[in-house]
Amino acid sequence: MVYVVIACHFRTRTDFCLTTDARLFAVYRKAKEGDRILVTGDVPYEHGCPTLGKLMRDWLVADAGLPKNTVSVLDGGVGTFSEARIACKLLKDEKKITVISSPWYHFAGKPIWRRRAQENDIGVSFISVPHTGGWRTWLTYAAIGIIVRVAIWTGLEGTLERRLTAAQTKRRLGFTFDGCK
């Protein structure tokens, strides 16, 4: 089994938030010997800081004690569209992946992950970590989820993906959005 753990945001320049922490605990409780874990979050708090993905990988290896060769960071993703596309292409030889995130993320992200998994002939399932995110995050992802569904229904998913990914590329210079508010 391959688990894909979605990063949320930073609490400080060198630490991740409680939502990311909850998602890491979820994969730690689920993962069995032989499973692999791919973490997202190839973005720093600011230039020169470690990425969310590196902090997540370090926690899973150093603090949770998982074997280093079982945990890797997804390179190049800056948001749901790009992370799903890159991860599914990277994992195209897998029969099934499981995406671990929050219910609010899954509302927006499931249709995207399902489409990218289907394009690569991968089964995909989801684990939702409850009690994460604040009202601002829930409202933001509810709006994004509606927009994603409308874009898919109208055939404009590609346009939406290009625009959102282009806008999110600046996250490589620094990512300070607080997903727990």
pLDDT above 90 for 134: no
pTM of the full structure: 0.95
Cα dihedral 14, 44, 19, 39 sign: negative
Q: In whole angstroms, what is the distance from residue 98 CA to residue 100 CA?
A: 6
**Mean pLDDT calculated for residue range 89-96:** 97
Query: Per-domain residue ranges for the chain?
Result: 2-171
Round to whole Å and give the CA distance between 115 and 19: 25
Q: How far apart are CA 156 and CA 123, in angstroms?
A: 24
pLDDT of amino acid 171: 92
Q: Are 73 and 54 in contact (CB under 8 A)?
A: yes
pLDDT, position 48: 92
Give the three-class secondary structure for 141. Answer: helix
Q: Which fold has domain 2-171?
A: Rossmann fold (3.40.50)
The dihedral through the CA atoms of 15, 16, 18, 22 has a sign that is: negative
What is the enclosing helix (H) or strand (E) of 172? none
For residues 22 and 152, is the Cβ–Cβ distance under 8 A? no
pLDDT tens digit sequence for 7-63 = 999 999 999 999 999 999 999 999 999 999 999 999 999 999 999 999 999 999 999
Determine the residue type at 83. Answer: E
